[in-house]
Structure 1
C-alpha cells in the first residue's frame, strides 16, 4: 500500500479546487495556494505545466497513487483499443479502493484504501486486502462482518455530498455489484478532470 506523503488538503489548495468535493476543504475559505507566496498572481502556465497539473490532479484524486502505478495504468490504457484517455479513467475506476469509495463504504478514498488493506472487504465473498486489485464487471464487493459495525462506514453511508454512480449497483447496505466500466462523463468528479492532457504529458 502506498503511504500518503503529504497532507491531503494541501493538494486542494495547490490546485485551487476542491477536488474531492468535501465540505471541510480549505479551498472553500481560501482559494489561493499554500505557503507565504500563495497569494501572488500566477503567470501564464506553459503547455507542460498545464499537462503536469492535470496529471497531479487526476493522480491526487485517486488517493495519490504512486507514480509507478499511475504510469503503468497509462501504458496499459495506451495498448488497449479505443480512446486512451477513456481507457485510463476506466482502469482507475476499476481499482478496488475506488469501488469501495464509490459504494459509500468509506467517507474518503484514503479511508477506502485503509479499509481494504485492513482486510474488511470481500470480492465475490473472498477477503481481499489489495487496494489496487482490478474489479471486473459482474463482481460483487461486500463489507466484512466487523466493517458493518464500524463508525467510519456508517458515517460514509449517511453522507449527502455524493451519490452512488449508475455503474455500481447496491445490494442492501453491505454489498454492491460493479456492473460495467464507466466512461469519463459517467464518473461523478466534483471538478473537471482532463485525462487527455495526462495522455499528452506521458506521450511527449
Structure 2
C-alpha cells in the first residue's frame, strides 16, 4: 500500500465518512474516528461543524493545501452570484477534477499524479498543472502515448462513477469536453457537502 493510498484512507477515517464512496474505505468497517478516544461522540459546536465541512470538501479534492483552498474561497466570494455555488463551480473546473470525473483514472489523487507526469493535454497542448482552470468548451484528452497505460485501461473499462452532465466524454478517443460550470446539486458527491458552512468559516 502506497503512502498516498494510506493518506487517503486516513482522511476518510478522521472525518468519519466514506468521502469518495469507495468499497475499500475503512469507514465501512469502523465509522468512528481513530485512536483510543475515537468512539467518543460529542455534540459539535458551530465552529466544529464549519471546520468539518471545510476539511471534508478540501479532502475530497485531493487534500488541497490550506493556501490553495483559501485562494479558491476568496475568489468564490469576490465573484458575482451565490458564493457557495461559485465555490463548487471553481473546484469542479480544476483539471484534476475533470480527469477524475471522466473516469480516466480511479481516484482524484491519481488524477493529480497523472497530470503532473505529462499524460494530459488541454485543447491539444500538454498541461502539467492539476489546478489548471478549465473554461467552458475546453477539451481534455489523454495523450496518445499514455492511452495504453494499465491503470487508464482499467479505469475506463470499469467506469465506477457516472459522468455528470456538465462533462461529455468520448471513451474511444479518451477525450472529455468541459461544457459549463456546474451547480452544487449537479455534482455527484458520495457524501453531503455543505459549502455554506465553509463560507461562514472563512468570514469569521
Q: State the TM bucket, normalised to the shorter chain.
A: over 0.9
Task: Give the paired residue count.
Answer: 201
CA distance in 1, matches of 2:155, 2:91: 21
5+ long unaligned stretches in structure 2: none
CA distance in 1, matches of 2:15, 2:158: 24
Q: 1:160 to 1:97 in 2, by over 3 A?
A: closer
5+ long unaligned stretches in structure 1: none
Match of 2:8 in 1: 8
Match of 1:123 in 2: 122
Q: Per-residue displacement from partner, 1:89-143 (whole Å, max 9, x unpaired)?
A: 0000000000100011110000000000000000000000000000000000000
CA distance in 2, matches of 1:98, 1:177: 13
Matches within 5 A, 1:55-204: 55-173=54-172, 174-204=174-204
Residue 146 of structure 1, CA deviation? 2.4
Residue 13 of structure 1, CA deviation? 1.3
Three-state SS of the structure 1 residue aligned to 2:88 is helix
CA distance in 1, matches of 2:33, 2:145: 40
**Deviating runs (4+, > 4 A) in structure 1?**
none
Residue 14 of structure 1, CA deviation? 1.6
Three-state SS of the structure 2 residue aligned to 1:134 is coil
TM-score normalised by structure 1 residue count: 0.95
TM-score normalised by structure 2 residue count: 0.95
Three-state SS of the structure 2 residue aligned to 1:158 is helix
Q: Which moved more, 1:12-21 or 1:125-134?
A: 12-21
Q: 2:35 aligned with 1:35, yes or no?
A: yes
CA distance in 2, matches of 1:153, 1:37: 40
Three-state SS of the structure 2 residue aligned to 1:35 is coil
Residue 160 of structure 1, CA deviation? 4.7
Q: 1:172 to 1:8 in 2, by over 3 A?
A: closer
Match of 1:20 in 2: 20
Match of 1:53 in 2: 52
Q: Per-residue displacement from partner, 1:156-201 (whole Å, max 9, x unpaired)?
A: 1133531111111012331010001000000000000000000000
Q: Per-residue displacement from partner, 1:38-59 (whole Å, max 9, x unpaired)?
A: 122x111110010000000000
CA RMSD in angstroms, aligned pairs only: 1.5
